[in-house]
Structure 1
Amino acid sequence: MTDAPFHVTVADGLALVTIAGSGKGNALGGSFWDELRDFMEKARHRDDIRAIALTGEGGTFSVGMDLRWYVVRLRRAQRSRNPSFMDDDVRLLQQAVTAVADCPKPVVALIDGECTGAALELVSACDIRYATRHAHFALPEAELGVVADLGGLQRLPLLINQGHLRELAFTGRTIDSRRASQIGLVNDVFADPSALHQAARQLTDDLRRHPAHVLEGIKRTLDIVHQDGIRRGLDHSARWNSIRTGPEGLGQAMSARLRCPAPPDDTVRHRSTTAS
């Protein structure tokens, strides 16, 4: 693993963005958010990129937000007594996820292993989601005493019905890729990462048959009817957490989570399979 939060390779029209993050399990923190936003802005102007694929290093998509990184930020906010820090900070993270959704190029998520919390919100901003049989998903923000606020609660209803989403958000329950496919969270499930990446290459070959402006037009037409609602929802969730939880409450919850981490992957997979 390098110090870079992700690395990019471009071949035959496909930009493969491999997430390393800022901590174990490709945790999303540090410069990841700013660099992801900047890459998406630059990718829209590159003629050699027809599609973008997000994936993770080492058999994991991402464990979600880097809690160690964010706890430090919350402690700084408490010391500064800046009442708007949490609200302002969340909006910066939201911008990175929104940059994925707003990119005019089709974006596909290639998900192997864990995809939790902020990572699930990130893939909800992608156009297409492919997963391996070993992928599993959760939205556990309620366990931290906060509302998911990076766009998952606004974009996931466009993928799965309200009952399934409310079950995920209320309980924090983990589901496996079979269940995710059943409820429409992922487009297809593949045997292993090799098959996953081959599917992305085949998708890019299919997309290259069509003019780029047509693909952008399709994406814009599909998105425009939902954009106002998504913006209002992002604003509401940011303000809700800032007022109801605040930096001190969230910092305490994150610190407690770090002391008592989630079960190992095998335990999670077994639980999610039997629960579904």
Structure 2
Amino acid sequence: MSDAPFHVAVEDGLALVTVVGSGTGNALGGSFWEELYAFMEGVRRRADIRAIALTGADGTFSVGMDLRWYVVRLRRAQRSGDLSFMDADVRLLQRAVSAVADCPKPVVALIEGECTGAALELAGACDIRYATGTARFALPEAELGVVADLGGLQRLPRLINQGHLRELAFTGRTIDAARALRIGLVNDLYLDAAALRRAVRELTDDLCRHPAHVMEGIKRTLDLAHQEGTRRGLDYCARWNTVHTGPDGLGQAMAARLRRPAAIGDEDHLQSTATP
């Protein structure tokens, strides 16, 4: 079994990217962020790929940031006295998520199970979101004393209204698939993983009937009005977290979160709950 953070299968124009991450629940850490950026940049030059689908292994999209991985990074930065680490690191993670949003080809999230924190921000960077009834969504960064900083607060307002987004961000509450569909967070719900695959296969077949440059033109035109605001927002929240939380505060919050006993049905949150 490969220890790569995701596996890619390309067939008839569709690149199916299955995330396994670096920890339980497809937690997002290790080489995931740099490899995701490299893959999305490489997709631009591949004529055999007309659409990309992101999904998670074993019935879970992703529990979000791998806190154990990130705590180790913070401690190393603290020992080295690198005051710029947190700001520079979050911009590296932002770059990966933005590469998904900026990909000139349609990107679809296929969501089962948990989609939390950094994973929800990643799903929000996709063009389309399909889910099963098992999907659940949360944006719990406030529990760690930080502002969600990978683009969720910039991109999710294009999907759901401000009231729903503010409730998610202020409270960190989890919502189920039915509510996600009702508020527009997902496009549609499907019975199971097989139905998700069929849906994205049918979508890709539709896309392949149209010229690739037209798909790119549609996406760039839709994104154009929001790009500068997104860029400013990403910069602002990265600086805000560095100034108001800092690596010491974030490291303590993450360590405390990892020590907290899980509630029944909440075991995955011990691995990951939010973005740095």
CA distance in 2, matches of 1:141, 1:128: 23
> Structure 1 residue runs of 4+, over 4 Å off?
none
- Equivalent residues, number: 268
Q: What SS is found at the alignment partner of 2:108?
A: strand
CA distance in 2, matches of 1:261, 1:130: 32
Partner of 2:99: 99
Give the aligned residue type for 1:63: V
**Which 10-residue stretch deviates more, 191-200 or 1-10?**
1-10
| Unaligned stretches of 5+ residues in structure 2 | 269-276
Partner of 1:22: 22
Q: What SS is found at the alignment partner of 1:115?
A: strand
Superposition deviation, residue 72 in structure 1: 0.4
Give the aligned residue type for 1:217: G
Query: Cα distance 1:265–1:44, how it changes in 2: closer, same or farther (>3 A)?
Result: farther
Partner of 1:78: 78
Query: Cα distance 1:186–1:265, how it changes in 2: closer, same or farther (>3 A)?
Result: farther
Superposition deviation, residue 263 in structure 1: 3.3
Give RMSD over aligned pairs.
1.3
After TM superposition, the structure 1 = structure 2 runs for residues 1-276 of structure 1, keeping only pairs within 5 Å, are: 2-260=2-260, 262-265=262-265
Give the aligned residue type for 2:172: G
Superposition deviation, residue 84 in structure 1: 1.1
Q: What SS is found at the alignment partner of 1:58?
A: helix
Percent sequence identity is 78
- Bigger relative contact order, structure 1 or 2, given CA contacts below 8 A and separation 6+? 2
Superposition deviation, residue 82 in structure 1: 1.4
Superposition deviation, residue 2 in structure 1: 3.1
CA distance in 1, matches of 2:163, 2:231: 22
CA distance in 2, matches of 1:124, 1:65: 15
Q: What SS is found at the alignment partner of 1:94?
A: helix
CA distance in 2, matches of 1:132, 1:250: 33
Give the aligned residue type for 1:42: G
| Unaligned stretches of 5+ residues in structure 1 | 269-276
